[in-house]
Amino acid sequence: MKNKKLMVAKLLDSVGVLRGIMPRDGLSVLCYHRVAASEETIESCAYDSGVYSCTSDIFKAQIAWLKNNTNILSLDGLLKLLRGELAEKGPYSLITFDDAYQDVYSVAYPLLKQIHAPSILFAPSKLVEEGRLGWWDMVAFILKQAKRKRFDYDGEKFDLTDNITPAMRYFLSRFKQMPYHSCVNIMGELAALCEVDLAGHRAHAAELMTWDQIAEVARNNFAIGSHTHTHRVLTTITPEEQRETTSP
Ligand SMILES: [Zn+2]
């Protein structure tokens, strides 16, 4: 199994550590990104497989455990707890999802619905609007599709023949650490170096939830929160851009 998060989740699940790490009282916030239909989904993912939090089996077991052992809070419940107005006793848990991936709708949502568990979805509105994946997924996509496996970039040598991980780490850290404006062209440069035609590929939007699906889950026990408009790393953009991407 290649995916480290999945391995950790399996380990936690198999030894029941979830029980051990949950505080007896207080609030635990679980932050999920993608929930895979199966392990094969993760292995065959064309994008960043590191974004998967777990498989549906593990997710189902985790939320069942939370339901039986904690008070799963809705956004209203959380606000009441913070105001000291919540009558129900702890321990409390909060189930959250970042990025609005399609499998939150197709895999996680039906399982949460079955047990009437509330959750919060944090959606990056511009990416949903444009059906565009984040830079981490696009870097992974280019590296996985690369027709040319060996190339130099900014004095570094890369060989994707057996393993894309070092290249993935290098490009993700550039996006996280460098001013956004100096990274704007990296995606195009990388695609050209790897001989991947980004313009010819139209499947990215299918990885994200649509506004209709977000509206549906919002009617069914999901609260919708902001995940910024553009999902840029806030430390890499100007204060003005920070205000713009975080304002309602
Ligand atoms: Zn995110």
The two three-digit tokens of residue 199, written as one number: 């313009």
pLDDT for 14:
45
**How many angstroms separate the alpha carbon of residue 88 from the centre of ligand 1?**
31
Packing angle of the helix pair 4-15, 56-69 (nearest 10 deg): 40
Per-residue pLDDT of 90-144, as tens digits, reads 899 999 999 999 999 999 999 999 999 999 999 999 999 988 898 899 999 999 9
> How close is the Cα of 98 to the center of ligand 1, in Å?
5
pLDDT given for residue 110 in this prediction? 98
Using only C-alpha atoms, the chain has a radius of gyration, in whole angstroms, of 20
Q: What is the pLDDT of residues 7-26, one digit of tens each?
A: 566 655 544 656 666 666 78
The pLDDT of residue 18? 64
Question: If you measure from the C-alpha of residue 96 to the centroid of ligand 1, how many angstroms do you get, rounded to a whole number?
Answer: 11
Predicted local distance difference test score (pLDDT) of residue 146: 96
Q: For residue 3, list its beta bridge partners.
A: none
pLDDT in the model for residue 186: 87
Binned at pLDDT 50, 70 and 90, residue 148 comes out as very high
Nearest-angstrom CA–CA distance, 188 and 236: 19
The band of 5, judged by pLDDT with boundaries at 50, 70 and 90, is: low
Q: How far is the CA of 68 from the centre of ligand 1 (A)?
A: 29
Question: How remote is the CA of residue 155 from the centroid of ligand 1, in Å?
Answer: 30
Q: Give distance in angstroms: CA of 52 to centre of ligand 1.
A: 12
What's the pLDDT tens digit per position in 183-220?
778 888 999 999 998 876 667 889 999 999 999 999 99
pLDDT at position 121: 98
Which structure tokens are listed for 80?
């009441």
The 3-class secondary structure across the chain, one letter per residue, is CCCHHHHHHHHHHHHCHHHHHCCCCCEEEEEECEEECCHHHHHCCCCCHHHEEEEHHHHHHHHHHHHHHCEECCHHHHHHHHCCCCCCCCCEEEEEEECCEHHHHHHHHHHHHHCCCCEEEEECHHHHHHCCCCHHHHHHHHHHHCCCCEEEECCEEEECCCCCHHHHHHHHHHHHHCCHHHHCCHHHHHHHHHCCCCCCCCCHHHHECCHHHHHHHHCCCEEEEECCCCCCCHHHCCHHHHHHHHCC
* pLDDT value, residue 13: 59
Structure tokens at 159: 């060989």
pTM of this structure: 0.87
User: Distance from the CA of 206 to the center of ligand 1, in angstroms?
Assistant: 17
pLDDT in tens, 54-90: 999 999 999 999 999 999 999 999 999 999 999 998 8
Angle between helices 186-194 and 135-145 (to 10 degrees): 10
241 vs 118 pLDDT, higher one: 118
- The rounded Å distance from CA 13 to ligand 1 centre is 24
Residue 46 CB partners (closer than 8 Å, separation 6+):
140, 141, 144, 145, 203
pLDDT in tens, 162-183: 999 999 999 998 888 888 777 7
Q: What pLDDT does 203 receive?
A: 75
Confidence of residue 50 (pLDDT cuts 50, 70, 90): very high
Q: Tell me how far the alpha carbon of residue 231 lies from the centroid of ligand 1, in angstroms.
A: 7
Cα–Cα dist 221/21, whole Å? 26
Q: Does residue 36 have a pLDDT over 90?
A: yes
**What residue type is assigned to position 124 of the chain?**
P
Provide the pLDDT for residue 233: 81
pLDDT of residue 15: 40
